[in-house]
Every structure is written in C-alpha cells, then in structure tokens.
Amino acid sequence: MSLKKLEPLLTGKLTQLQQQGLCKGNEKVITGMKAAADGFGPRYFLEGCGDRAFLRMNSNSYLGLAMHPQVIKAEAEAAEKLGTGPGAVRFISGTYRPHIELEQKLAEFHGRESAMLFSSAYTTVTGVLPQFISADTLVVSDALNHNCIINAIRLSHPAGKEIYAHADMTALDKILEAYKGRVKRVCVVTDGIFSMRGDYAPLDRINACCKRHEGAYEEGIITLVDDSHGVGAFGRAGRGTEEYTEAKADILIATLGKAFGVNGGYVVSSSAAIAYLRETSPFYIYSNPITPAEAAAAGAALDIVTNDEGLQLLEKLRLFSARLRSGLEQLGFETLPGEHPIVPVLIRDSGKTSALAAHLLANNILVTGLNYPVVPQGEQEIRLQVCAEHTGKDLDYLLAKLADFKR
C-alpha cells in the first residue's frame, strides 16, 4: 500500500488550481510582534522578511482583544488551574465551569434563553443548520453566503434549495410564495455581515417577508443568521446585525475568533432549540470543545465588550472605518458605503488587484487581494479591515501608499 498511484493525480489537481488562479500559495508565517510606538499601532514580523515590520490590514481581530492583558490573564490563569485541553467531548467528561459560564454570558449578551459552544464558527454552522432541515424543508440562501453555509446545505437533505440574489427581498418573497403547499417547513439562512463586502443582511425586512408567508407552512419559517463578522464589531454595543437592524433571528450563530480575539464558535436560541442541538449535532457530540482556558479568555473578552471600554473601542472602530472610506473616496478609489470595519477597495481587474496587493506588501502592509474566480468577474477587490488597535498614523500611512499606486 502506498500513495504512489494517487500522488500524480493530486499533483495534477494542484496544477489545475494554479492555472485557474485558485491556489492560496505559501502561507505567511508571523514570527513576532512589535508593540505600538511613536503614534503607530502594532507591527508584525514575517518569516523570511528579516527585520521588516508589517502593518496588518487583513485581520479579523476587530477590537484588538487578542493582546488585551485582561484576556491573556484570564486564559493563563485558567490553563494553570484546569490544564491546556478539555480531555474529552463534553458529554463524557469535557465540560468545565468556564464553558458553562461563557454560555450563560453569551445567552445574556444576545438576549436569548440558551447558548451552546462549538470548536469554531464553521463547525457551528455545519453542525447546526442540517439539524433544522428535514426531507420536508425548503432551504433558502443568499447568493453571497459564506462557504460554511454552502457546505452545511450540502450536508443536508432538503426537499428543495433556492438561492436569492444578494439581499433581494423581492426574490425572497417570490420563492416563499412559489413553495406554498409544496413543503412543510422553510429555513431562510444568511450571513449577517458579508465577509467580502462588509455590507449587512436586511434582517428586519427578511423577518417581515417570512412573517407574511409563515401561515402557509405547516411547520413555519425559521431564520438562521451567521453573524461572525458582525458580533463584537457592528452595532452601537457590538450586538451585530441584529442590533443594527433592530430584528432577531430565530437561530443566531457567531464566532469567538474575530472581534472577541480568542477561538471557537457558538449558537444562541431558545432553550428547546439548544437542548435539541446538544442531543443531535454531531460536531458537538463527537468533537472536543474549545479549551477551558479559551472559554475563560472569551468570557473576559465579553466582559470588556459589555463595559465602557468596549463601547469606546466600538466607537473608535466606527470612526476609523469612516475615516478610511472617506480617504479612499478622496483618492478616487471605489468602495462601498457602510459602518462595518471591512472596507473593500473595488479594483474590478485581476491584474491591477494583484499589482496593488504586491505594491502594498512591498511597502510593509498586509492586505487580502480577491481575484476571479474567488469573486465574480468584475468584482475583484482588495479587502481592508480596520481594527481598534490601528492609529490615525497607520491609516495615513496606508492612504499615502495607496496614493503612490494611484499616481
């Protein structure tokens, strides 16, 4: 037995991905960090780049809590007390007090009856969504939903699957009208914040549309929202898309690994829904949870977000996001309006997108360039992400280097 017969096929697949422009390439390895100084925010060192220090404009750590002393202390103390790993899946012997306390805090934060932790937001979506889709269910998905939602639907066996054009409520309305009498249940699933664009799902209008049609379905219509980029980074108090649109999903999923600066995912909903998931979701039952130390760190991060310091960080994030958008527009770059710290620079050309990403890297700025076919033809962009640890001098430096490229 060997891989000799298979390896040429694998190599051929990699060559095909390279030709299609889909290869991710070598990962950049962060080897260290330079603390904020002289009015600039933190800088990061990369393997193979010597003493060059890079400004990160491609991080999901929106509030900068991964390096917050209170969060680090909570994780260190919990690791000293409880060890580095859970030791088992939760129903065997892997549930610790920090897991329970964090779930209680998350439920309260989102105004729900109950919460449940997973090892990541991706596994939360794939572990939750299929449990609410039966052979008599229609699942309806936004065209720009994240890959985790797409794969969760693939794991399900619905009676039907429909995709509506991005945030198009007329299209959603037509789908719900067309399926009356054909299925018993409908599950409408969407991102809260769309990760490539930074725009948000109109949850208030989605709910209103679902409410108009729900009476025609024997088992009703449920909404499921993955707001991993929204929670902690969007809304006045960081409650995400629900807070911004003043509407709630039936089932809300989010992450601990972005604005909260730790690791893991979670779902909040009614007590009945969470109790059902604890008994049915394979990604919960058969997979280890986040470590007790991670749970303690996430709890500390949540405490920060819910106090005055968190409100100040969120206000800074909004101001700096607006400042960057304004600066881009003054330079003649195309971006999208909004308040989220994902600020896309729409280049709409693969060659120019790659050239701009290379230009910024040469000037010690890390960004994410998105080209076709990762994004549709004509939608090529540089995705910039603002974090609360950035400074005004950081944004000025970024805009100056963008201006150099523009010239």
pTM of the model: 0.96
Asked if residues 238 and 310 have their Cβ atoms less than 8 Å apart, the reply is yes
Q: Which strands sit side by side in the sheet containing 342-346, from one edge to the other?
A: 342-346, 381-385, 368-370
Parallel/antiparallel/unpaired status of strands 342-346 and 381-385: antiparallel
Task: Give residue 269's pLDDT.
Answer: 98
List the structure tokens of 398: 């970024």
Task: Give residue 129's pLDDT.
Answer: 98
Task: Give residue 26's pLDDT.
Answer: 86
Short-list 118, 386, 122, CA closest to 233: 386
Task: Give residue 75's pLDDT.
Answer: 98
Task: Give residue 159's pLDDT.
Answer: 97
Task: Give residue 24's pLDDT.
Answer: 77
Task: Give residue 322's pLDDT.
Answer: 98
Q: Which residues, listed in sequence order, are joined to residue 32 by a DSSP beta bridge?
A: 45
Task: Give residue 225's pLDDT.
Answer: 98
Q: What is the dihedral of CA 368, 62, 260, 107, to 10 degrees?
A: -110
**pLDDT averaged over consecutive 10-residue blocks of the chain (407 residues)?**
90 88 84 96 97 97 97 98 95 96 98 98 97 97 96 95 98 98 98 96 98 97 98 97 98 98 98 98 96 98 98 97 98 96 95 94 95 83 97 98 88
Residues recognised as catalytic: 195, 229, 258
Asked if residues 124 and 266 have their Cβ atoms less than 8 Å apart, the reply is yes
- The DSSP element (H or E) to which 152 belongs, if any, is helix 147-155
The amino acid at residue 39 is: G
Task: Give residue 17's pLDDT.
Answer: 86
Secondary structure (3-state) at 73: helix
Task: Give residue 407's pLDDT.
Answer: 61
Task: Give residue 195's pLDDT.
Answer: 93
- The DSSP element (H or E) to which 13 belongs, if any, is helix 7-20
Task: Give residue 3's pLDDT.
Answer: 93
CB-based contacts of 303, cutoff 8 Å, min separation 6: 70, 105
Q: How far apart are CA 46 and CA 391, in angstroms?
A: 21
